[in-house]
């Protein structure tokens, strides 16, 4: 019998990337942009932007643990097929994979100091700042991952692997290190102009949140800060203007007119005395007292009829709200005043609604992006049958799940015993009420099925009165057990 020869797959005709765009040294691809990664990181240090990023970091870090109970915040490892039941061996394997994430490794490596909380904060900060995050998978010869190291995404350059059409010939890359892996090189790390490391796709995870079809920027993300250049510049200038008001002002905005004849020494003495009384924030509202000779004096003519301490207060609020909108986060989460809210978080009636909407728009997509990255770059390599799941991410989903369980029990679709078995909880043998349906209609059929059917076993002999009394007592006890099942109060937390 002849073996069927597998035909090679056809190559894509389209030009997905432009290999010559952002060409690095040696034929690598770096992001072609006027805003360098160093500039983006400086922009992220602006207090308003730092507040947004730190808020998201704290929200993500709350899930860097095993859930303590059903619906608690955390993460778990389970089968990709949610209908597939986990055996004891599968549960043990899932526990080992969870330990890999919690310790960012599966052995005590003294070079590895991050736990999962710190690991998440590192890569998410890069993602929110650069729209690029990277970590290294340290692989064994068998292909198992022993360590996870967060890597500075700004130092990573790509090799042109994606389709580039016949019109664009990617330049050949020559290995610069002792790379000896069967898979081709997909990424390099360049530090201070030198190639520090070379990676295959399995060895380095490189993920972006905002992909584009722009052929020049394909495979590179688009950071929110790239859309906030003018906004961040406005925040810096607005804050600088207001702070310089207290540093450099010595007179109100107006003209001070002297009446009478004075010597030069008098002007200098007056100037020193006036600055000492009115300079700085504390002297702004001070009332200067001076003694003047008869016929002498001065008159102040202000340029404006009113004076405002913070000229750009509303303008700064506008800039803060724009920044939050680009990052898909509600200003109330960060501590800013929202355009639609004239009060703080605790006083606004619709703050919870707005924060829930913000979580749906910004936080939930970020968490799904992270779980997809972990699945694609870690679990698909070492345990493709498993998947990474966040728990307690959607409170509304947990409420719907609890209500659906209660409805299933009340309709008789499942019993309490079946629910406990699904959750791995024991079902006492003497708890017959757990096996009874809670539906009033189905309970009658259940009672009829458990009642002894005496019509098929008629005995012509007369029954013993003692036996009759014993059977009636057993029937009353069983009826009481069945009636108890109708009084079940089901709650998600109890089971």
Residue among 156, 196, 154, 158 at smallest CA distance from 179: 196
Residue ranges of the chain whose pLDDT lies below 70: 1-9, 22, 245-246, 248-256, 280-298, 300-312, 339-358, 395-400, 424, 452-495
Q: What are phi and psi of 408, to 5 degrees?
A: -65, -40
**Which residues are registered as beta bridge partners of 268?**
none
Burial-class residue 66 by CB neighbours within 10 Å (0-12, 13-18, 19+).
middle
Q: Sign of torsion, CA 455 459 465 471?
A: negative
- Please state whether the predicted TM-score (pTM) of the whole model is above 0.85: no
Query: From CA 277, how far away is CA 272, in angstroms rounded?
Result: 9
Q: How far is CA 23 from CA 15, 33, 185, 188, 193, in A?
A: 16, 12, 16, 13, 14
Looking at residue 349, what is its pLDDT?
A: 45
10 Å Cβ neighbour count for 142?
6
Q: At what angle do helices 47-61 and 313-326 cross, to 10 degrees?
A: 40
Looking at residue 482, what is its pLDDT?
A: 47
Looking at residue 357, what is its pLDDT?
A: 63
Looking at residue 356, what is its pLDDT?
A: 63
**Where do runs of H (alpha helix) occur along 343-464?**
351-358, 364-374, 380-382, 395-411, 416-422, 440-450
Query: Which one-letter DSSP state was computed for residue 21?
Result: T
Query: Do 338 and 371 touch, CB atoms closer than 8 A?
Result: no
Query: Do 31 and 39 touch, CB atoms closer than 8 A?
Result: no
pLDDT digits (tens, 9 = 90+) for 455-480: 454 454 455 555 555 555 555 555 55
Q: At what angle do helices 47-61 and 364-374 cross, to 10 degrees?
A: 60
Distance of CA 393 to the CA centre of its chain: 10
Looking at residue 253, what is its pLDDT?
A: 62
Residue among 138, 70, 129, 130 at smallest CA distance from 104: 138
Query: From CA 198, how far away is CA 146, in angstroms rounded?
Result: 18
Cα dihedral 420→422→425→427 (10° resolution) = 50
Query: From CA 475, how far away is CA 159, in angstroms rounded?
Result: 79
The three-state secondary structure class of 47 is: helix
pLDDT digits (tens, 9 = 90+) for 132-156: 999 999 999 899 999 999 999 999 9
Helix (H) or strand (E) holding 388: strand 386-391
10 Å Cβ neighbour count for 49?
24
Which tokens hold the place of 339? 């355009």
Query: From CA 323, how far away is CA 301, in angstroms rounded?
Result: 41
Query: From CA 303, how far away is CA 111, in angstroms rounded?
Result: 65
Which tokens hold the place of 462? 């007369």
């Amino acid at each position: 019998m002849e073996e069927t020869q597998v035909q090679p797959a056809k190559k894509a005709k389209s030009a997905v990337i432009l290999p010559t765009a952002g060409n690095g040294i040696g034929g690598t691809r770096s992001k072609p942009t006027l805003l360098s990664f160093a500039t983006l990181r400086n922009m992220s240090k602006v207090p308003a932007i730092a507040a947004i990023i730190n808020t998201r970091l704290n929200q993500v870090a709350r899930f860097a643990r095993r859930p303590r109970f059903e619906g608690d915040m955390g993460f778990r490892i389970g089968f990709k097929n949610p209908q597939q039941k986990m055996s004891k061996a599968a549960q043990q394997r899932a526990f080992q994979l969870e330990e890999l994430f919690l310790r960012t490794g599966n052995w005590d490596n003294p070079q590895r100091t991050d736990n999962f909380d710190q690991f998440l904060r590192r890569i998410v900060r890069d993602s929110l700042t650069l729209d690029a995050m990277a970590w290294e998978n340290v692989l064994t010869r068998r292909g198992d991952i022993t360590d996870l190291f967060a890597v500075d995404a700004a130092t990573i350059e790509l090799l042109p692997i994606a389709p580039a059409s016949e019109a664009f010939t990617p330049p050949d890359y020559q290995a610069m290190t002792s790379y000896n892996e069967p898979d081709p090189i997909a990424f390099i790390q360049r530090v201070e102009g030198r190639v520090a490391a070379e990676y295959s796709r399995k060895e380095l995870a490189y993920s972006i949140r905002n992909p584009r079809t722009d052929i020049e920027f394909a495979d590179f993300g688009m950071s929110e800060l790239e859309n906030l250049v003018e906004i961040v510049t406005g925040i810096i200038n607005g804050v600088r203007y207001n702070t310089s008001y207290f540093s450099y002002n010595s007179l109100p905005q107006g003209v001070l007119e002297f009446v009478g004849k004075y010597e030069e020494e008098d002007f200098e003495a007056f100037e020193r005395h006036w600055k000492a009384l009115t300079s700085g924030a504390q002297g702004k509202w001070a009332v200067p007292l001076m003694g003047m000779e008869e016929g002498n004096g001065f008159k102040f003519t202000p340029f404006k009829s009113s004076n405002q301490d913070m000229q750009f207060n509303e303008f700064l609020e506008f800039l803060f709200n724009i920044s939050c909108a680009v990052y898909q986060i509600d200003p109330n989460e960060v501590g800013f005043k929202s355009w639609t809210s004239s009060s703080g978080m605790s006083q606004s009636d619709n703050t919870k609604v707005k924060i829930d909407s913000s979580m749906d728009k910004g936080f939930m997509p970020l968490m799904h992006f992270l779980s997809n990255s972990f699945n694609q770059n870690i679990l698909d390599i070492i345990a493709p049958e498993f998947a990474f799941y966040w728990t307690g991410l959607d409170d509304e989903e947990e409420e719907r799940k609890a209500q659906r369980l209660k409805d299933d029990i009340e309709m008789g679709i499942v019993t309490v015993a079946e629910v406990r078995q699904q959750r791995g909880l024991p079902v006492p043998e003497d708890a017959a009420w757990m096996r009874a349906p809670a539906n009033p209609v189905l309970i009658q059929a259940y009672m009829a099925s458990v009642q002894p059917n005496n019509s098929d076993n008629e005995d012509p002999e007369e029954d013993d009165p003692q036996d009759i009394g014993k059977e009636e007592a057993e029937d009353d006890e069983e009826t009481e057990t069945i009636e108890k099942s109708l009084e079940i109060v089901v709650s998600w937390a109890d089971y």
